Structures are given as C-alpha cells and as structure tokens.
Amino acid sequence: MLNSLPNQLTLSRLGLSVILFALIGVEWWVGALAVYALAAFTDWLDGFLARRWNQTSSFGRVFDPLIDKVMVCGAFVFFASSHFAVSGRNTAGVEAWVPVLILLREFLVSAIRSFSESHGVDFAANWVGKIKSFVQFTTVCVILGVLAWFENSPFFFWLRVGCIWATVIVTAGSIIAYMQRAQAIVLSPEALGSASPGPSPTPPPVAAPASGPPPASPASPAPPHPRGVKQVSA
C-alpha cells in the first residue's frame, strides 16, 4: 500500500517536518511558514484522496495522526525552547507548560485509544479532536506569521496570544471529552484489576434413591438352645 498516493503524501509530511524544524532553527520564518502550510494541505489532501479512491489503509490510519503529532508537538517544543528566549521573555509567546499540556493530551489519548481498541471498542477521532487539530495548526501558522512580518504589530501580538490560549482551551477540553468518552472502559473493574470473581461452580446433583418399598433387612437367626438343661415343671 506504500505505492498509493495518499500514503506517499503521508510519508512526505514526515520529510516536511524535518525541513520545518531545520528552518525554525535557522530562523527563516517565511520558509518555515510555507513548509508548514504545505504540510497542512497534504494532511487534508491524503485523507480526501483516501476516501475518494477508497484507499484507506491501516498504515494511513496509524501514521497520519502520528506524523501530525510530530509536527505540532515539535513546533510547540521549539517555540517554548531557549532558542526563543530574549532578555528574559519568549519571543514566540509560548510558555514552557503549553507543549507539556499538548504532549500530555497526545500521550493520554493514544494510551486510551490503544487500550480501547485492544478490547474491541472503536475509538476513532471525533469532532472535538478535529477542532483541536485545526486550532493547533492555525496557531502555529499565526506564530510563524508574526515572527516573519508582524512582530511589532499590537493587533497581531494579541491575535497570537488569543490563538495560543485557544489552543490551551481546546486541548484541555479534548482531554476531558476523551476521558468522559472512555470512562466506561478505562475505569471498568477489568481495567482496574478489581474484577469480581465469577460464581462458584454448582456441585453435581445427587441421584435420588429409586422409588418403591425399602428393601427388607435380613432376619436375625434365633439364639441356639442351651444344651444339657432340662426344663422342670413346677
């Protein structure tokens, strides 16, 4: 299935991730924004083509969200790093706890999805996860755009702040939504190791005695008459 175009687009996004991180490292914001926008477009395109051509596969189902996580989490980790620390402030506007929250969400949801599907329960992404992905992608684009052209603009400064807080809110909301969705599975007695023991086995039934009169007991023999004793009449 690697020769299908949707899977090739998915793999190409992994290469774009490496290029993105390299461009962020050398502070070429315009190039990084262009690569990130191209990666976001291929993310939409591979899913569209896979559904349109009926080429959905297990490879795409696993690696498509994985590569998305690499790009988003990697970008936020870069933004919160010391590379963006100037005079005691972060020029990207991303505090260190923001990527921690994003990584926590991704690890938690991945663990819940793996556990649920191992028990035969479908745990595909829902609309909350799709909104989270859209907001995170948009926030990365806004941060790169501000760094490229609008670093001194008050309007875009507050737009960046709003996008970052929107990312925090939808990420936290996504954690709550997925936890509520998986509560019945994750907090089940089987998952917590406290499953109640099964019912004790029923003892086999005892066979009832056959109907009818009880068998007669054998007659005891009469005691022998004592020898040599004569009965004397009075």
Q: Does 173 reside within a domain?
A: yes
Inside any domain, residue 208: no
**Tokens representing 115?**
């556990």
pTM for the predicted model, two decimal places = 0.74
pLDDT value at position 85? 81
Whether 134 is in a domain gets the answer yes
59 neighbors 156 (Cβ within 8 angstroms): no
191: number of Cβ within 10 Å = 15
- Asked whether residue 91 carries a pLDDT value surpassing 80, the answer given is yes
Specify the CATH number for the domain of residue 9.
1.20.120
Sign of CA dihedral 162, 168, 171, 173: negative
The predicted model gives 111-115 an average pLDDT of 80
The count of structural domains within the chain is: 1
Sign of CA dihedral 221, 226, 227, 232: negative
Side chain identity, residue 97: W
Contact in structure between 20 and 36 (CB atoms under 8 Å): yes
- How far apart (Å, rounded) are the C-alpha atoms in residues 66 and 61? 9
Q: Is residue 188 included in any domain, yes or no?
A: yes
How many angstroms separate the CA atoms of 222 and 178, rounded? 92
139-169 confidence digits (pLDDT tens): 999 999 999 999 888 999 999 999 999 999 9
Q: Which domain holds residue 78?
A: 5-192
Alpha helices (runs of H) in the chain, residue ranges in sequence order? 5-25, 29-52, 58-79, 97-118, 127-148, 154-181, 183-186, 189-192
The confidence score (pLDDT) of residue 191 equals 62
Q: What is the pLDDT of residues 2-52, one digit of tens each?
A: 678 888 888 899 999 999 999 998 999 999 999 999 998 998 888 888 888
Q: How confident is the model at residue 226 (pLDDT cuts 50, 70, 90)?
A: low
Residue identified by tokens 């992994």 is 14
Asked if the structure places residue 218 within a domain, the reply is no
